[in-house]
Amino acid sequence: MAQTTLRTKAIVLQEVVYKDSDKILTLLSDTLGKISVRCRGVRALKSRRFASSQQYVYSDMLLSVKNGQYALEEAEPIESFFSLRERFEAIALANYFAEILLSVTVEGEHDESLLSLFLNSLYLLAEKPDVPYEKIKAVFEVRLSTLLGFMPNLDACEDCGRRDSLCWFDIAGGSVICERCAGAGGEIMGERILVPLDEGVLPLLRYLTLAEDKRIFSFRCDGRLLSELVRFSEKYLLYHLGRGFDTLTFYHSVYG
């Protein structure tokens, strides 16, 4: 099969050393989704592709394709997110986000919203130290849940249709339950996994599931509601992914 070339914009999710001077990169591309790319001789400092082969660097790339295998021919960095490396908590969260994306994306299937979410999250981690890390983490988790098809039903009680007193959430079913229908079910009721949910969090969740990609971080809330959002977002995402992440365990071991 003849070799062809194509251009794409992509960020490095993972880099693996291969042989003496090569790397195998896992990229998240705007047109190709997750792909594996071989980079020959890229570990040499004099390589023109050295910068673009580093984790979390977003670049305009020229790839060659032969027999279904990609190789990096040229690359021009667009954003390096260099400041991530200056704050330990920022890079810890970036690693968590990357590990999730590596696990949930499929080779060759692309969703530009996933790339946009990752880029926006890295930008805030790197360039906006005034934005609380827990806010960035919670928004990433809720929005990712939505993009993966786990968007919760947040409008009315799943059982009776009531639109007030929505103070419980069924993690398993992805729906709100009113106080009357939940009764005294506590944490587990039948096949449901009920957790208390402050009604003030519902508008935030609705916003995060429906807002445009570029506006998902554009909201304000007090510390109490942010804490509620943080408690909900991680539990909901991990339940529906059915697994934990080493990078998240590390993050919590350091930052609680």
Domains, the chain, ranges and CATH? 4-79 (2.40.50.140), 82-152+197-255 (1.20.1440.120)
In this structure, of 57-61, 80-84, 180-184, the range with the lowest mean pLDDT score is: 180-184
Segment 171-177 shows an average pLDDT of 91
Q: Is 0.85 surpassed by the pTM of this model? A: yes
Contacts for 256 with CB less than 8 Å, ≥ 6 apart? none
Return the number of other C-beta atoms located less than 10 Å from residue 170's C-beta. Answer: 23
> What pLDDT, in 10s, does the model give residues 176-190?
999 888 875 444 455
Q: At CB < 8 A and 24+ separation, what contacts does 57-61 make?
A: 57/11, 57/12, 57/81, 58/9, 58/10, 58/11, 58/119, 59/9, 59/10, 59/11, 60/7, 60/9, 61/7, 61/8, 61/9, 61/10, 61/27
For residue 145, give the 3-state DSSP assignment: helix
Which of 244, 26, 218 is CA-nearest to residue 10? 26
Segment 251-256 shows an average pLDDT of 84
Q: How confident is the model at residue 1 (pLDDT cuts 50, 70, 90)?
A: low
Segment 231-240 shows an average pLDDT of 94
